[in-house]
Amino acid sequence: MLGIVPAAGRGSRIQPLGFSKELLPVGSRVDGQTERPCAVSEYLVRRMVRAGVDKICFIIGSGKSDILEYYAAGYGDAAALFVVQPNPVGLCDAIFRAAPLVAPDEVVLVGLPDTIWFPEDGFSRLPDNSLSFLLFPVDRPEFFDAVVLDEKDRVKEIQVKRQDAATNWIWGAFKMPGRTLHELEALWRERNRCDEYIGTLINAYLAAGGGAYGVRAGVSYVDVGTFNGYRTALRLLEHGAASEQHRTTIVVPGAHPQVPVVPGEGA
């Protein structure tokens, strides 16, 4: 099982920094008997490892060698692989940089390294044998990619940052067989690599007869790539005492909500 972590973006929303935004310290972790700072990307990596990933492929850009240094030894039982995206030209380009490493029968997990979401076992809620999206309810879907489902939870459309989004459920991570990743890459190339966002490519994939499912199992989602999101993530790990099963929270620019904490992830 392979996890893909696209980490080549410039992080312009939260610059200037002296390091990659994926290494922003948010909360802490216990290493043996020692408490250490926890990089924001570790929350995604930890969720991937929990789901059974044994290889994690980081897509990095020029000037982001600090990510290589941070994860060079791997994470837990998972080995780390690194692929370079020469120019940060979109999520699709980043994800498909890992395609040569993916076997057709391998399960692939994809997430965004500047987000923190709950439940921790979210990836395990997704099936291994089909393209599926882990969905989260939000107050402002126009800031994200809203996923419209039919009555059988099949994806009808992904609405990319639409002001008139038809649903408040957005994707936060996804999972698919390796052969589906290769099908999506082939379609992306057929479309002259015009898709920057995964949502527009999925819409083309659906129009061509492909299928995908949405799983509305997400509880809380925090985008740490903004200053407000970063501050809220700190509050998440510092004050949150509510159970993740009973609180739904979303962070958008300008918002300051409370977010739940789960055991093992704290300040």
6-15, 62-71, 151-160: range with lowest mean pLDDT:
6-15
The mean pLDDT of 152-178, rounded to a whole number, is 98
Instruction: Kindly give the residue spans of alpha helices, DSSP state H, lying in 117-244.
Output: 178-190, 198-207, 227-239
When pLDDT is averaged across residues 163-174 and rounded to a whole number, the result is 98
pLDDT at position 251 is 45
Q: How many secondary structure helices (H) and strands (E) does the chain include?
A: 6, 14
pLDDT at 28: 83
User: pLDDT: is 75 or 252 the higher one?
Assistant: 75
38 is written with which tokens?
Answer: 């926890």
Q: Specify the pLDDT at position 80.
A: 98
Q: Report pLDDT for 27.
A: 83
Distances (CA, A) of 85 to 24, 56, 60, 172, 189: 21, 16, 6, 22, 16
Kindly tell me if the per-residue pLDDT of 142 is higher than 90. Answer: yes
Q: Which of 2-16, 151-165, 195-209 has the lowest mean pLDDT?
A: 2-16
Whether residue 83 is predicted with pLDDT greater than 60 in this model: the reply is yes
Radius of gyration of the chain measured on its C-alpha atoms: 17
Q: Which two tokens stand for residue 242?
A: 């509510």
What is the Cα–Cα distance from 107 to 35, expressed in whole angstroms?
A: 33
What confidence tens digit (pLDDT) does each residue in 190-240 have?
999 999 999 999 999 999 999 999 999 999 898 987 878 888 787 766 654
- What percent of the chain shows pLDDT beyond 90? 69
Q: Is 259 helix (H, G, I), strand (E, B) or coil?
A: coil
pLDDT of residue 51: 98
d(CA 178, CA 193): 19
Q: What is the pLDDT of residue 141?
A: 95
Hey, what's the torsion of the CAs at 28, 229, 53, 105, to 10 degrees?
180
Buried b (16+ CB within 10 A) or exposed e, 16-47: eeeebbbbbebbebeeeeeeeebbbbbbbbbb
18, 42, 159, 260: CA torsion to nearest 10: -110
pLDDT at 262 over 80: no
Please report the pLDDT score of residue 245 as a whole number: 43
User: How many residues appear in the chain?
Assistant: 267
Find, among 179, 176, 227, the residue nearest to 198 by Cα.
Answer: 176
Q: What is the set of domains in the chain, with CATH numbers?
A: 2-250 (3.90.550.10)
Mean pLDDT of 248-256: 43
Q: How far is CA 86 from CA 10, 115, 164, 185, in A?
A: 12, 23, 34, 18
Averaged pLDDT for residues 143-160: 98
Q: What's this model's pTM, rounded to 2 decimal places? A: 0.88
pLDDT tens-place string over residues 13-66: 555 666 898 999 898 888 788 888 899 999 999 999 999 999 999 999 988 999
Q: Which residue's entry shows tokens 């994470």?
A: 75
For residues 263 and 81, which has the higher predicted lDDT (pLDDT)? 81
Above 50 in pLDDT, residue 145?
A: yes
Q: Name the burial class of residue 164, with classes exposed (0-12), middle (13-18) and buried (19+) by CB atoms within 10 angstroms of its CB.
A: exposed
Across the chain, mean pLDDT equals 88
Tokens in use for 51? 């789901």
Q: How far is CA 187 from CA 108, 155, 159, in A?
A: 18, 18, 19
DSSP E strands in the chain: the ranges are: 2-7, 25-31, 34-39, 55-60, 79-84, 107-111, 115-118, 132-137, 145-149, 155-160, 169-177, 213-215, 220-223, 249-250
